[in-house]
Amino acid sequence: MTAFDVNTVPLEKLNIIEASAGTGKTYTLAELYLRLILEKDLTVDQILVVTYTRAATEELRERLRQKLVDARDERLGQTEIEQYNLQKLNLAIQSFDEAAIFTIHGFCQRVLGDFAFESGLRFELELIGDDQELLQSVTDDFWRREVTTADKDFISYLLGKKESPESLLKSIRSLIGKPYLDLIAVPEVNIEQCCQEVQKQFDHVKILWQQEQKQIIETLHNKGLLNGNKYRTTSVEKWLLQLVELMTHTDMPNSLFDSFERFTPAKLEDALKKDQILPELRFWLACEWLLEQYQQLQQARELQHQQLRLKLLEYITEILPQRKQQQQVQSYDDLLLNLGQALNGTRGDWLVEQLRKQYQAALIDEFQDTDPIQYASFSRIYSDSCLPTFLVGDPKQAIYSFRGADIFTYLKAKSQADNEYTLTTNWRSHPNLVTAVNTIFRSHPEPFIYRDIPFNSVGAARDDDPVLKFGQTVPAPFHILWAGSDKPMAKKDLTSIAANVTADEIAKLLNLAQSDEAVLIDEKSKQARALSGGDIAVLVRNHRQAHAIQQCLQKRGINSVQQGRENVFSSNEALI
């Protein structure tokens, strides 16, 4: 992969730029934007700039405008050639309100609005921020049609799983509006036959219980036969009561009690004392067969449950567009789908030609967050066009599927790009930390799972003077605190341990600071000051973990501020 030089890169064709955190991604976009105006004579409404959220769009808009202002100020009073560039910059600044800087959804909305007739959309469609209410309404209809009329045993199974219209919709929510998914068919199952076989075996167990009841009870109470730790008297009494209750049923219940396997040969033989032999009773083997038949029925029910989910997805795919058409509304997902359909419809070639004339260059920010539908639209417009197109992103983030990121979309774009570049200098982090991160990720041949996403080491632009000192010691920039043991532990226990270890480490740092043993050194003035709580940040995965750490800090007398549970930029309204 080639190191990216923003000053010399040709402004043509499809280019992908890998930009790790802190490597100057926004600076790169701004420099490309400036070059497109000065070297390609493009106006601000001819350069398509796309990023992910409204907040990011506004920030990028301000950075691009400031870049133009700074470039203009640098050229004041210079040569005639620069005076010509100065005119271009003044025009760009004066017309910057017309700059084509959008979120992906905003871009779709603009195109569909400008070319509503050509795209075949109705003009009066209202954009709704969230179609959850409509989705739930469609799901409720499906539930009434499919679930309330199902066989009573399946309904009981669903109730046992605490399934509801809301939870059923939630289970497939991430699959809605993604026509590119290749759904695997669920195998057909003969539920009726499974039920009959279970009932037949249940009847057999009941008969054997009547015939061998005395020997069964004597065996279970025989202290010389069975290990008392595995078959305690109190436990045996409890299991027998559950068994007696089970044997009163005419029909096989929807579930067996948890300890039913205690009556199978495998469990009984495992509990035998040394040199003891289990009495041969047909009941034990019958219980084993019943348990196996029951487990097979549960597997069949789970397949039936999966079929229900797929059936709901198919129903929503068919009915939801009809409901939206009736109510004259469209959602954010519809914007993406509708643009894709328009670009590939009967007038698709004409629309592509118009968009290429309108947007003669494209800068796509946060490209790792692009899904197949979004990329398909950009590819349709710009592939094989030779127009300067730059896709900028960090593929390392795409493996986490943040905001629907799709690593395979990124890899596809990478394979189709004419040129691949990487930003090679970290401008944000301390050199020691950059070196530490490089060392960690270089130690694994495939640190990001996929071979096509290698780790590219970066250099550091900052000087290497220490910014944190413990007395005369400069601490390592990266520590791994061992908080557990070699044995597997419950997640709850690990969360508690991690919170306490983190709080202890913070307390240690602040105690050192009180005696001026932990100081921060300003990079510009080189003045030192004591470390304070406000200099320390703790990053966690969720609100629960944040609360656990905050509680541990409070116990140590350390105040902290916790960010709110919801982030406004994660809302749908932030996407357009």
Rounded Cα distance between 455 and 441, Å, is 7
The torsion angle over the Cα atoms of residues 295, 299, 302 and 307, rounded to 10 degrees, is -150
CB 405 within 8 A of CB 29: no
Give the contacts of 456 (CB within 8 A, at least 6 positions apart). 1, 18, 20, 422, 424
Which is nearest to 507 in space by CA: 539, 481, 533?
533
Rounded Cα distance between 18 and 14, Å, is 13
Q: Report the pLDDT value the prediction gives residue 102, as an integer from 0 to 100.
A: 97
The pair of structure tokens assigned to 300 is 């069949």
CB 290 within 8 A of CB 239: no
Rounded Cα distance between 304 and 193, Å, is 14
Residues in the chain: 576
What type of residue sits at position 469? K
The pair of structure tokens assigned to 413 is 């774009």
Rounded Cα distance between 194 and 199, Å, is 9
Rounded Cα distance between 189 and 285, Å, is 26
Give the contacts of 136 (CB within 8 A, at least 6 positions apart). 165, 166, 169
Q: Provide the residue-wise pLDDT of the chain in tens; the chain has 576 residues.
A: 799 999 999 999 999 999 998 999 999 999 999 999 999 999 999 999 999 889 999 999 999 999 999 999 887 767 666 788 899 999 999 999 999 999 999 999 999 988 887 777 666 788 887 899 999 999 999 999 999 999 888 999 999 999 999 999 999 999 998 888 888 888 988 999 999 999 999 999 999 999 999 999 999 999 899 999 999 999 999 999 999 999 999 999 988 999 999 999 999 999 999 999 999 999 999 999 999 999 999 999 999 999 999 999 999 999 999 999 999 999 998 999 999 999 999 999 999 999 999 999 999 999 988 889 999 999 999 999 999 999 999 988 876 655 556 788 888 999 999 999 999 999 999 999 999 999 999 898 888 888 888 888 899 988 888 888 888 888 888 888 776 667 777 888 888 899 999 999 999 999 999 988 999 988 888 888 999 999 999 999 888 899 999 999 999 999 998 876 544 344 444 444
CA distances from residue 500 to 84, 203, 373, 506 in whole angstroms, order as listed: 64, 56, 44, 10
Rounded to a whole number of angstroms, the CA Rg of the chain reads 33
Q: Where are the domains of the chain?
A: 2-123+332-423, 131-330, 465-572
The pair of structure tokens assigned to 482 is 């061992």
Rounded Cα distance between 15 and 4, Å, is 11
CB 305 within 8 A of CB 155: no
The kind and range of the H/E element at 233 are helix 233-247
Rounded Cα distance between 244 and 213, Å, is 10
CATH class of 2-123+332-423: alpha beta
The pair of structure tokens assigned to 133 is 């209410």
The kind and range of the H/E element at 389 are strand 389-393
Phi, psi of 151 (to 5 degrees): -65, 150
Which is nearest to 387 in space by CA: 357, 413, 415?
357
Rounded Cα distance between 320 and 177, Å, is 10
Hey, is 468 helix, strand or coil? strand
Rounded Cα distance between 458 and 357, Å, is 38
Q: Report the pLDDT value the prediction gives residue 399, as an integer from 0 to 100.
A: 64
398 exposed, middle or buried (CB, 10 Å; 0-12, 13-18, 19+)?
buried
Which is nearest to 32 in space by CA: 42, 20, 21?
42
Give the contacts of 522 (CB within 8 A, at least 6 positions apart). 528, 529
The kind and range of the H/E element at 439 are helix 431-442
Q: Report the pLDDT value the prediction gives residue 564, as an integer from 0 to 100.
A: 60
Tell me 179's DSSP state: T
H-assigned helices in 80-222:
80-94, 104-114, 116-119, 132-142, 152-160, 165-172, 191-221
| Fold for the domain defined by 131-330 | Recbcd, chain B, domain 2 (1.10.3170)
CB 140 within 8 A of CB 280: no
Distance of CA 32 to the CA centre of its chain: 31
Give the contacts of 502 (CB within 8 A, at least 6 positions apart). 481, 538, 549, 552
pTM: 0.80
| Edge-to-edge order in the sheet of strand 101-103 | 2-3, 419-422, 14-18, 389-393, 361-364, 47-51, 101-103
CB 38 within 8 A of CB 6: no
CB 33 within 8 A of CB 353: no
Hey, is 518 helix, strand or coil? strand
Q: Report the pLDDT value the prediction gives residue 200, as an integer from 0 to 100.
A: 97
